[in-house]
Structure 1
Amino acid sequence: MYRLVFTQVLQRFDAEAVHHLTVRAFALLSALPLLKRLLHRAFAPHDPALRLTAFGVHFPGPLGLAAGFDKDAACAEGVAAVGFGHVEVGTITAHGQPGNPRPRLFRLVRQRAVINRMGFNNAGAAAAARRLRRTRGVPVVVGVNIGKTKVVPEQEAVADYVAGAKELAPLADYLVVNVSSPNTPGLRDLQAVSKLRPLLAAVKDVADGTPRRTPLLVKIAPDLADEDVDAVADLALELGLDGIIATNTTIRHEGETGGLSGRPLKSRSLEVLRRLRARVGDRLALVSVGGVEDVDDVWERLLAGATLVQGYTGWVYGGPLWASRIHRQLSRRVRRHGFSSITEVIGRTAPDTRDAR
């Protein structure tokens, strides 16, 4: 049914217009206590075999929504109600900004992909913090993804990230430093270890200073050279980060300028995950995102060493109950393979890393 609606109706409208309409719909759902509770009871993951703990946070299931959909922390409860195990909001910048000029969001239906050059359009950290302070009507793990304000020069990037972190870290179940979006000029330059070290150290000081210590992760690009992936992994271990999210969108494609997500990213995202697992073993939580379309993809990422998996473009093409369907399929698969918990799957096919650096 959803495929018919998508091809005959949604595909005929501007991609960003549909995006904003969908966000408003989930924001409305988040504001309707009875309906969101009923949906949560019906579609959220409740199987004890799917529960897991990462960086001290308890998740009802391994599949979450990646950053990019709920840019202003407006609808996390509604999204959780239709089956996601966690919701990563943002990217949120310290100061509000309109993002890049339209058009800036494009579907590649045949490739089951999306190109975006949104440019961190959001109302800013203070506005998001007001929403995050609201009492949650249904249980939902909310990660907060922060980025650099576009007009802030590189030499002031650390202070800008710290300002956003001070607003948002106390309200987040985990915090993510995004230095990998291709749509803010110069942002990816911050992935160089010489620039990344002082940035992550400063944000970590903020996260460590919250009342319950907010876990901190860094999100990296798929376009990093392998040796740079290794360098970021080593830095994350050195600084005592809680995890790495791999990967963001790629600029290695033809067509509109912007970051490509979806099926074409599948292979590289999995490759980066395997490289990270070989480098860090289970000393860091690894969150795999990029080209995740179905239960087979989620299962493969878990086997390769991902603690958690995220999707977004797969949801666009898979329909509202995409995450709920995958979690139900994971429940059956865990039992079919003779496991009692999804945690027994994690890293099962990964190489032995006891001698990893």
Structure 2
Amino acid sequence: MWTSQNITAFERSRSWLPLGNSSVHRGQELLERRYSFQDEEDMFMVVDLLLGGDLRYHLQQNVHFTEGAVKLYICELALALEYLQRYHIIHRDIKPDNILLDEHGHVHITDFNIATVVKGAEKASSMAGTKPYMAPEVFQVYVDGGPGYSYPVDWWSLGVTAYELLRGWRPYEIHSATPIDEILNMFKVERVHYSSTWCKGMVALLKKLLTKDPESRLSSLSDVQSAPYLADMNWDAVFEKALMPGFVPNKGRLNCDPTFELEEMILESKPLHKKKKRLAKHRSKDSTKDSCLLNGHLQQCMETVRKEFIIFNREKLRRQQGPDGQLLNHDSRAASQASSKLQDGHNNNILAHACPGGCSS
């Protein structure tokens, strides 16, 4: 379920940000959105087709990711997180499932379902994410309010993801059903074990990403670039995607599990492949007098969607930007209106817990 806060984060990340300035990193490691629109039932987003599958699928296929491959992933994802941070976005769900590969093997972040936007010194205050990848401070917010959390939570998730890619399992034995008090106890008493076969530089980098104290955690692009392990990295080449990834998906096969599509068709209460017939039936009912109340409710819902969600066309946006990449005329006002919605979203599957003072609601 997308909230207005999630949409604001997505709008900021892939919509009206300047496109014309080639000297600034433009978040090429984020999934590109081309168009968006909605009907009576659904909101649709048309994005780039990435044929390499997600990292979760390849882990399940027992792909062995080398240190060199993971090293490049860390660098490319660091560029993406730096881009999000520049525009005050916390993704909050970095994990292998949400990292897609293109046909050349480069990584791209997707799924802004629970992303949120914070401003200034504000911190997020709701418990949101996927438990095995959530930073300690996110759980602490739920237990005692805590001081809230900010961008370092995404870098913790990056550390968990990198560890899992290298070893095949995560640094902590945390699952979706693991109680929160048990998780916090793990962080207190358990030590992360690093493989003796990994080079010391990689271990040191992972330790900095998996530092429990967010103030001491490696949590910016400059922090990553200053890591001794990455001293030999050509960051211009990383930016230009000129480095060959250590793992390139097989172009001759479908890099996903087709049963997921089948499950959607079987289990989804309102499957897309039956939408045309379903809407025709509903519209037929709406023509009767008994549907007046339903029509009023539907119109109210649609009006809410129109206010909260801006139809987006990237090609049109490019034509409406000036030489400096800024939107012109009324489009800049629309962008300003969208950016004003700087509240903290939450995952509807997890209870939200507000923290005292200094946090977004």
Query: TM over 0.5: same fold?
Result: no
**By percentage of residues, which structure has more strand?**
1
Q: Which has the greater radius of gyration?
A: 2
Q: How does the TM-score come out when normalised to structure 1?
A: 0.28
Q: How does the TM-score come out when normalised to structure 2?
A: 0.28
Which has the bigger relative contact order, CA under 8 A and spacing at least 6? 2
